[in-house]
Amino acid sequence: MQYGICQIFSLGDNKMTTNGFDTLLGNSRQITGLKKELARISQSDEPILIEGESGTGKTMIASLLHENSRRRGNPFFSVNSAAIAENLAEGELMGSVPGGFTDARNRPGYFELANGGTLFLDEVSELSTVVQAKLLTLCEGNILYRVGSINPIKYDVRLMCATNAKMSDCLRKKLFRTDLYYRISVLRIKVPPLREHIEDIPILIEHFLKSNPEYKNYYFAPDAIEKMLAHNWPGNVRELKNCVYRAVSLCNGELVQPEDIIFDQL
């Protein structure tokens, strides 16, 4: 098996290499196309929305985009959007000074912490509409005021967001602000689910085995791989990794058989 092979693409008179994204394993049309698209947008500073099911690797893709951008070497600050509470949102996003609110401290917010680099908001669709309004204000300029302060702070941040929700549904149900959606989705990346590129499963299995020193001598029997190929993988690559390690733990010897493979029952 081979993986991590550099692909070179021609766009008009320009040649584009995707070798900076070869840690995205797979030679399928879907993954090859994804690498090509990531290489196209990596140098842009426009906001990016990464869409894909849970377990498809959205955080990894955001990190790779940052590492292949002009901002590499500067902060990549990742935030779980679901953890931003409405009553703390301003302080979390913009920072605070003593007296700004009860128990306020002198500390930077997410935009300051990511200054010069990338702020990644994972599962952005989980933000409440109240927090969305505050985020929209920050997206409209490059100056913020810590809560309780009148001193402006300039910032330079590339915003990346990710979601596993269907944004069209969120917009239709008014769970997500339309104006904010257009702010954060100047560029969009759709990450394919594993079931749409199952031909990459053998490459991924080999990678998971070799990346764990305890499992590097294990391998899967051909009929075991066939069983893996027939599964629907609702948990995507994350589920595949768990399944590989579970099978290795259950097998007798170093050859994984079909009976060693137990899929998650959701």
* Residue 155 to residue 149: CA distance in whole angstroms: 16
- CATH topology classification for 195-260: Helicase, Ruva Protein; domain 3 (1.10.8)
The class (CATH top level) of 45-190 is: alpha beta
Listed by start position, the domains of the chain span: 1-27+35-41, 45-190, 195-260
Q: Phi/psi zone of residue 191: left (φ > 0), alpha (ψ -120 to 50 degrees), beta?
A: beta
Half-sphere exposure of 1 (CA within 13 A, CB side): 18
Greatest Cα-to-Cα distance within the chain, rounded to the nearest angstrom: 67
Is 95 exposed, middle or buried (CB count within 10 Å of its CB: 0-12, 13-18, 19+)? buried
One pLDDT digit (tens) per residue for the chain, 266 residues: 222 222 222 223 334 456 788 889 999 999 999 999 999 999 999 999 999 999 999 999 999 999 999 999 999 999 999 998 888 888 889 888 876 565 666 788 899 999 999 999 999 999 999 999 999 999 888 888 888 888 899 999 999 999 999 999 999 999 999 999 999 999 999 999 999 999 999 999 999 999 999 999 999 999 999 999 999 999 999 999 999 999 999 999 999 999 999 998 76
- Token match 């990459």: residue? 200
Best CA proximity match to 130, nearest among 94, 161, 99, 84: 84
- Burial track 198-220 (b if 16+ CB lie within 10 A, e otherwise): bebbbbbbbbbbeeeeebeebeb
Q: Please, which residues bridge with residue 77 across strands?
A: 119
* Residue 32 to residue 44: CA distance in whole angstroms: 20
